[in-house]
Structure 1
Amino acid sequence: MPATTQDGDHAIENRPAPQTSKTMKAVRFHGKEDLRFEDIPEPTCGPGQVKVKPAWCGICGSDLHEYMGGPSLCPESKPHPITGETVPLTFGHEFAGVIEEVGEGVSERFRVGTRVVVAPIIYDGDCGACQDGLVNCCWKNGFVGLSGWGGGLSEHLVVPEYTLYNCPDNVPLDVAALVEPLAVGWHAVNSSPFKRTDTALVLGGGPIGLSVIQALRARGCAQIIVSEVSGMRKEFAKDFGAHVVLDPTKDDIIARCLELTNKKGVDVTFDAAGVQPGLDQAVNSLKARGTHVNIAIWEKRCSLWPNDLVFKERRYLGVATYVKADFQEVIDALSDGRLDMAHKMITKRIAMDQVREEGFLTLINDKENQVKILVEGSGEK
């Protein structure tokens, strides 16, 4: 029997959408360095489901890792335990769009023409983590656009109601497509012991690092220090709210953090880089009883000397994506102006048939000048 999740008063069956004889365009991941813009069957709506026409979709670092290294997050030989799908899969998990069809049993909050943001986490609703409300830690978790159920790089897709959030009228749909990466940074700050009076060190000035900076700025962080090598991303970090930007190839990060905190060390560090030298610097920049927050997905095992934690009673905290409340809080912060710099993350806009050359290859070969490339869909703008 298919797994179900609870969404308000509705039990929603986690099952793939049925398909029709109609076809649509989609960007499909077939394997390492194999991305195709092709025709696939168009899905139809079932009970508890909503059909969405994407307006804008971002290209994520996770997409790049799959493309360059081959299927890792994407199921390959073994079907995903919830979606039942394997590659080839439609890419795109950072997107916003417009509802074009509503299935039976969907609440009245969602109607044809409603502007929505999609939270792409797929979860079973039954494991211990889900029972505790930690759907981001689901034992079988996956993502729309990486694990099945279509993706934002398509003309249409069908998702369960529980993935949808209303997009306020004053938030453009291109900015709404940034909610997913912004929610990652927001969740990291929410999960940490951060206080407004704290000094925070952020490792990395890419999309997630910039999301952390914006989340800290929105909460009035007293001092934000950023460690970043790229010249352009240093400028982005300053523009987005960092008080001090350091270069780990030139600056002694530990010494500078001690200098900037009256020899105490920083209160909290956020690792959005996932490299060994950065981890070493971050942990040893912490004050006694400070907290290191790991956001990065590491490509290989790292080493950590436990004594660096033990003798200063420091804490190491792992955080995974976001929970439901984070998504809504980010949408609210975009609407009320606390995340007023978010639109500057968009550095390029492309058409769906340009995704490989102008999107993926640009992010690989011109990383210095790019933060977030958005792909234009066919939905209302």
Structure 2
Amino acid sequence: MRAVRFHGRGDIRVDQIEEPVCGDEQVKIRPAFVGICGSGQKLPVTLGHEFSGTVEEIGAGVTGLKVGDSVVVKPNLSDGFIGFSSNAGGLSDHVVVPKKHVVALPEGFPLDMGALVEPLSVAWHAVNRAPTETAKTALVVGAGPIGLAVVQVLKARGVDCVIVAEVSAQRREYSKMFGAQEVIDPLAENVVGRVRALTQDAGVDIAFECSGVQAGFDAAMKGIRVRGTMTIVSLWEEKPVIDAFDVVSYEKHVIGAAICADGDFEAVIEGIRTGQLSPHRMITGKIAMEEVVEKGFKALIHDRDEHVKILIDISAGSD
């Protein structure tokens, strides 16, 4: 079968590998749509941890699923992170995963929307980690796919004012499209100064650091009020510098959020089903598996401002 595998930096290939066999307590899935995100650690690794698909086979001991069901797959940081450090990834013609990672979709739920459940669940979890019950103002620094997902979740939770700081003009437009009331260009104006002006000099109640750069980290930290909360969602290649004096003096809270918790996938699916979340405009392209390098990864590198989520349609060109 075909599988998109990461062999090393700048080396992604569509390989032919053995089709997996479904064992006890496992589910074999035919992937439908897969979002591009992340890279592998164990080489080579089959990519794809944001995906939907159709159940092809169920192993002994599996209950609650049947062949033909539409599903999404929930990765976690253990059990060989699916599509990141394991040999089970959605960017393949078939994939076998443990039953505990499989979440059924409601009847009629679009499979392309299913591929957005994982990134939205990361955002849902990040927002859950913050005190949104009392928050009226929020700052999101960095409007990449996760930052834009955080904006949508904040609006769904009823936060009155969502402010986004983002250097890309196109991503600032996406931010407004998904519900941000205010957008700030950090290259043209002082983020903290603008946030203060928008909040009667108090600062926002909560902030989400989604940029992964020091300047963004500093803006999020300085942008929250006394006893405000900053949630770090981005992944870092280098350790950021933290102003501990600022944290202590103003009794600020700094927390982290990664992947998702039990119930997050189901909450996001229900949010999409009911219209509380409407993420379809996050999909900015659909391509075939054989196009994944040129029209997928390279497009996200060279034309990143034009795209939020490029989905790989596994059925296109399949065997």
TM tier relative to shorter chain: over 0.9
Q: Give the aligned residue type for 1:169.
A: E
What residue in structure 2 maps to residue 119 of structure 1? 74
What residue in structure 1 maps to residue 41 of structure 2? 74
- Asked if 1:32 corresponds to 2:9, the answer is yes
Q: Residues 177-218 of structure 1: CA distance to partner in whole angstroms, max 9, x if unpaired?
A: 000100111100001112365200001111000110010011
Instruction: Name which of structure 1's ranges 195-204 and 263-272 shifts more when overlaid on structure 2.
Output: 195-204
- Asked if 1:345 corresponds to 2:282, the answer is yes
What residue in structure 2 maps to residue 174 of structure 1? 112
| Separation (CA, whole Å) in 2 of partners of 1:59 and 1:309 | 36
Instruction: Using the TM superposition, give the Cα deviation of residue 123 of structure 1 relative to its aligned residue in structure 2, in angstroms.
Output: 2.5
CA RMSD of aligned residues (A): 1.2
Q: Give the aligned residue type for 2:62.
A: V
- Asked if 1:47 corresponds to 2:2, the answer is no
Q: Give the aligned residue type for 1:368.
A: D
Instruction: Using the TM superposition, give the Cα deviation of residue 368 of structure 1 relative to its aligned residue in structure 2, in angstroms.
Output: 1.2
8 Å contact from structure 2 (residues 120, 149) kept in 1: yes
What residue in structure 2 maps to residue 361 of structure 1? 298
8 Å contact from structure 2 (residues 31, 314) kept in 1: yes
8 Å contact from structure 1 (residues 196, 219) kept in 2: no
Q: Residues 97-131 of structure 1: CA distance to partner in whole angstroms, max 9, x if unpaired?
A: 00000000001x2100000010022525xxxxxxx
TM-score (norm. length: structure 2)? 0.96
Instruction: Using the TM superposition, give the Cα deviation of residue 375 of structure 1 relative to its aligned residue in structure 2, in angstroms.
Output: 0.1
- Asked if 1:89 corresponds to 2:59, the answer is no
What residue in structure 1 maps to residue 130 of structure 2? 192
What residue in structure 2 maps to residue 324 of structure 1? 262
The equivalent position to 2:223 in structure 1, one of 278, 285, 300, is 285
Q: Residues 216-237 of structure 1: CA distance to partner in whole angstroms, max 9, x if unpaired?
A: 0111111000000101100000
8 Å contact from structure 1 (residues 269, 282) kept in 2: yes
Q: Give the aligned residue type for 2:301.
A: I
| Separation (CA, whole Å) in 2 of partners of 1:144 and 1:122 | 9
Q: Which runs of 5+ in 2 are unaligned?
A: none
The equivalent position to 2:57 in structure 1, one of 63, 84, 101, is 101
What residue in structure 2 maps to residue 371 of structure 1? 308
| Separation (CA, whole Å) in 2 of partners of 1:358 and 1:377 | 14
Q: How many residues align?
A: 316
Instruction: Using the TM superposition, give the Cα deviation of residue 32 of structure 1 relative to its aligned residue in structure 2, in angstroms.
Output: 1.4
The equivalent position to 2:143 in structure 1, one of 205, 216, 237, is 205
What residue in structure 2 maps to residue 266 of structure 1? 204
What residue in structure 2 maps to residue 68 of structure 1? none
8 Å contact from structure 2 (residues 141, 219) kept in 1: no
| Separation (CA, whole Å) in 2 of partners of 1:276 and 1:339 | 31
Q: Give the aligned residue type for 2:172.
A: K
| Separation (CA, whole Å) in 2 of partners of 1:276 and 1:121 | 27
- List aligned pairs for 1:7-18, cutoff 5 A: none
Q: Which runs of 5+ in 1 are unaligned?
A: 1-23, 64-72, 76-86, 125-141
| Separation (CA, whole Å) in 1 of partners of 2:67 and 2:315 | 15
| Separation (CA, whole Å) in 2 of partners of 1:198 and 1:112 | 45
What residue in structure 2 maps to residue 139 of structure 1? none
Query: CA 1:271–1:146 in 2, change beyond 3 Å: closer, same or farther?
Result: same
